[in-house]
Structure 1
């Protein structure tokens, strides 16, 4: 049990680090999202394809894989064998991981297709990219509702089981709520940003908790002497 908890802690710390890399990379280094003109956007993507590919692998593909490890560690920590709530949270965690990995792969493969088209037909490349970007955003690039539900379920399960402390679980309510309301178009951008920023703190806190206390007091007491 301790080994999986520690792997989960390491995964959570990676999640926090990847968020930081993502914010810096997508805003300060290659802010292709800042352009509203499709032709300008696909040109910027072509010029920064290598950096964008690396960022998507770090922030989406590897992030999603790490989330699987973390979800399994939390399933064990929250006694998923007996808790239906913990099992439900695990399901949403795995679903979110799949969506994030798929988003990253679709972005990278779609980017390659659009960039190849750009050399011969920039207008068609821009149109193709609009379609790819819509799929990417729908899967999880712009809406964080699945992640929000996962965090909310974990907060309830954590409070019921006495794991991680009240302060952390109340923070989880805030983080989860920000993710869930990102489904509302009028506030999607601001709520997704709040979700991402608060998740840096959330994942770091969770990771340290899993590494410092790989078993709960109840689990330790139940362990054979």
Structure 2
């Protein structure tokens, strides 16, 4: 197990939690969409808050996606000796999730820019395009947490095999992972919030464990 990669993974986990907190705070306290109704209102909101939306998306999607890549690789390095088969699958799923997060963020940033420019000459068409962008972005990054739930569940199950991660952390991970998985069914969409908020705790907890020198020294590096 690489101490350098564990340290990078720990910092990345905590950075992801910070990205999520910043995103939540921006949408709650800064990006107030009340007073903007309908498709045309959504375009007007995007135009009026272009810079704030850009920063929020950059932090909560693009940067978070990059940090997620590091965390996925670090957890694979930590747990592959205990559960190699499970971690091969988990790592593939984790990289896919990171790609989804990154693509979703880039789509939102570029889509918002294109729509606000189009709104200057063709507001009606801009509203239609923004609706389409919103649907695709929601499918990728906001409508379901299925892929992220699968990754966290697999990592937590691998951690339970031995002492790669604390047992309580693994059980918590299974809980929030399953909460993410069931969001693929539309009636369970409210669990998106449960998954998102619980992830923040999970990321911080994982980060602290990975940064702890004693923990890194105690974990076996090979099966």
The normalised TM-score by structure 2 is: 0.93
The normalised TM-score by structure 1 is: 0.92
Change in Cα spacing, 1:157 to 1:37, as seen in structure 2 (3 Å) is: same
Query: What is the aligned-residue RMSD (CA, Å)?
Result: 1.9
CA contact (8 A) 2:36 2:44 kept: no
**Cα-to-partner distance string for 1:107-153 (whole Å, 9 max, x where unaligned):** 01111111011112222111100100111011122211000000000
**Unmatched 5+ residue regions in structure 2?**
none
Instruction: Report the counterpart of residue 111 of structure 2 in structure 1.
Output: 110
Instruction: Report the counterpart of residue 128 of structure 1 in structure 2.
Output: 129
SS in 2 for 1:215: helix
1:69 aligns with 2:70: yes
1:26 aligns with 2:10: no
Instruction: Report the counterpart of residue 192 of structure 1 in structure 2.
Output: 192
**Cα-to-partner distance string for 1:42-80 (whole Å, 9 max, x where unaligned):** 101100011111111111011001101001100100026
Per-residue deviation, 1:187: 2.2
Taking the aligned partners of 1:187 and 1:27, their CA distance within structure 2 comes to 22
Taking the aligned partners of 2:151 and 2:185, their CA distance within structure 1 comes to 18
**Unmatched 5+ residue regions in structure 1?**
none
1:207 aligns with 2:207: yes
Q: In terms of mean alpha carbon deviation, does 136-145 or 76-85 score higher?
A: 76-85
Per-residue deviation, 1:216: 5.6
Runs of 4+ in 1 over 3 A off after TM superposition: 31-36
**Cα-to-partner distance string for 1:62-99 (whole Å, 9 max, x where unaligned):** 10011010011001000269611011111111000000
CA contact (8 A) 2:58 2:105 kept: yes
